[in-house]
Amino acid sequence: MEYLATTILFFTLLITNTQGLNPSLCSSSKPDTSDLSVFHIYGGCSPFKGRKPEPWPNTVLDMAAKDPTRVAYLDSLAAQKTSAPIASGQQVLNIGNYLVRTKIGTPGQLMFMVLDTSLDTAWVPCSGCQGCSSNIFAPNSSSTFGSMDCGSALCSQTHGLISCPTTGSGPGPGSCLFNQSYGGDSSLLATLSHDSLSFDKDVIPNYAFGCINSVSGNSIPPQGLLGLGRGPLSLVSQSKSLYDGVFSYCLPSFKSYYFSGSLKLGPTGQPQSIKTTPLLQNPYRPSLYYVNLVAVSVGRVQVPIPQQYLKFDPSTGVGTIIDSGTLLTRFVGPAYYAIRDEYKKQVQGPFSSLGSFDTCFPVTHEQVSPIVTLHFEGMDLKLPMENTLIHSSYGNQACLAMAANSPNSVINIIASWQQQNLRILYDTANSRLGIARELCN
């Protein structure tokens, strides 16, 4: 396969408990030389960072507490529910973890958008948006902007499509309008539009996205969202001629001062020797990246988990997905409790709870902590200790960094904590997902 293009997007994830930040670190990727950077939402270079940086364990605990909202949304997708709150806005920013620094329009207008592998449609707040509170995109300042009408093929594939107006209501007669609810207390109204989307030196012309007209509530991402899901409106689909439906990322350790990792778009530069597992397709919810998780081992013991909680079933949504926006890996209740109980058998207590974590123990017992192995079809992933445990702020406790999904959930989610220092390759053209060890920092 000829490699047409590759963009390496550097993550600068700056969760820190130290003072100060070298200003040059934030300006090193200048708009003229690198149009795209990715920052952690709490990073020193993020426009949404807090005034005072928190110690990283506190940050992680706060992010973990917000995981359930996103998990509920993903579960609603898998279960084919017709309406459910989307974990978004400030909640997506807290649990989606990463911001994409990109440009939209001609000339390009800089936006910091939430990056998400389980969502498709991109959307940004536009001029005149009612209720938007952050930097907005000005369509009138772009020579390549245009609205899409109801007759366009992509309009019919837009989630939350509203009946097309026939007169002057809305942005224009025949404009493709859609609305979505987010976070349980927020919603947006947007017009499906198109414009140039720029990544470093690569430009995707006529990129379809939602131009937000109004929002209600406080949970909409301030500068929008960029979806890397599998649906027709995702970046992966719209850039297929440029990147061949291939991308990968490497998420660095949460404990690093400078969280530098990389996201690669396109097949060039991807690992040549990498173990892979098939990507499974849910025709009802094509956005999600399903994989076949066949078993889980704790130490040398394969945990007895009934296959009904693991085996992929597109009719019900049961199965396992890979997701960048959830912090902690979550299993449906029976599977998680079986894993947790076996883990407790092999680690000396006493055990306690801490926030979202129900299996915490004295850090002095960490040396006997067993390796957790995820057995996928065609490959095994032995989780490093930093991908298995999280420590308390005072460092005297270690906790199993996994949790049970909600009682009515149907999916298992392999989340970002378990993806640290791993190269995760998404090859949609060949329907495979690859994982390889890599020091991302």
User: Annotated catalytic sites, by residue?
Assistant: 116, 323
Q: Is 43 exposed, middle or buried (0-12, 13-18, 19+ CB in 10 A)?
A: buried
Q: What do you get for the CA distance between the two ends of the chain, in Å?
A: 30
Residue indicated by tokens 């058998």: 345
Residue indicated by tokens 């809305």: 170
Report residue 384 as tokens: 């490093």
Q: Which amino acid appears at position 432 of this protein?
A: R
Report residue 66 as tokens: 């917000």
Q: Which residues contact 30 (CB under 8 A, 6 or more apart)?
A: none
Residue indicated by tokens 């404009």: 175
Cα 225 to its chain centre, rounded Å, is 10
Q: What is the CA radius of gyration of the chain?
A: 21
What is the C-alpha to C-alpha distance for residues 176 and 277, in angstroms, rounded to an integer? 38
Cross-strand partners of 322: 414
What is the C-alpha to C-alpha distance for residues 291 and 322, in angstroms, rounded to an integer? 7
What is the C-alpha to C-alpha distance for residues 214 and 41, in angstroms, rounded to an integer? 23
Most distant pair of Cα atoms in the chain: their distance: 70
